[in-house]
Amino acid sequence: MGHGEESTTLNYLIELIDRVDDIYRNTTWDQEFSGYGVQIQQIIIEKSPTPVAPGKRHFNMRGSPVENRDVWDVKKLLEQFSADIADKAANVCLAHLFTYQDFDEGTLGLAYVAPSKPDIAGGLCSKASPSSSNRQRVMYLNTGLTSTKNYGKTILTKEADLVTTHELGHNFGAEHDP
């Protein structure tokens, strides 16, 4: 995103979220809901991979947890991100990971969908949920991710805007059309 420059990355993310916010705020939902948007509370830029002990994993580790694979499985990465940032995600309505990984089958993003019932975890302002890999650990399903790499190349800015808007739509409760 920022080609190793923290200030470039920061500006890219701020401008991206500003464009996504503009899309949401200028959309009227069912003639009665308007003015919804997103606002940045905090940006964390990971400058180097997080060291992990053998057999352990972290969303920001070098490579992936699968031996001889540099790229994570997108579902596993979202789950790991959700568990690793649980203490921060507990204090915000949404947490979104921006990464530069070339996921399988051209996948550019993934997010948990907010359910229609308030007592089920997932999406916007989600409550804690037990981690599927460690029952003693909680995770928050108010998360999503966007990759800006696809088939070996950096995607267009407009593509990143649309992917992020799409994934946040899932966090808001939108599902794919049948």
Residues belonging to the binding site for Zn(2+) are: 166, 170, 176
Active site residue 167: yes
Structure tokens at 35: 């003015």
Catalytic residue among 6, 46, 79, 167: 167
- Please report, in range form, the residues annotated as the binding site: 166, 170, 176
- The DSSP line for 10-21 is HHHHHHHHHHHH
Query: Which distant-in-sequence residues (6+ apart) come within 8 Å of 142 by Cβ?
Result: 89, 92, 93, 94, 95, 112, 122, 123, 124, 125, 126, 171
The alpha carbon torsion through 85, 125, 43, 129 (nearest 10 deg) reads 10
Phi, psi of 96 (to 5 degrees): -130, 130
Question: What are the backbone dihedrals phi and psi of residue 22, each rounded to the nearest 5 degrees, phi first?
Answer: -60, -40
Pick from 18, 15, 20: nearest CA to 161:
20
- Catalytic (active-site) positions: 167
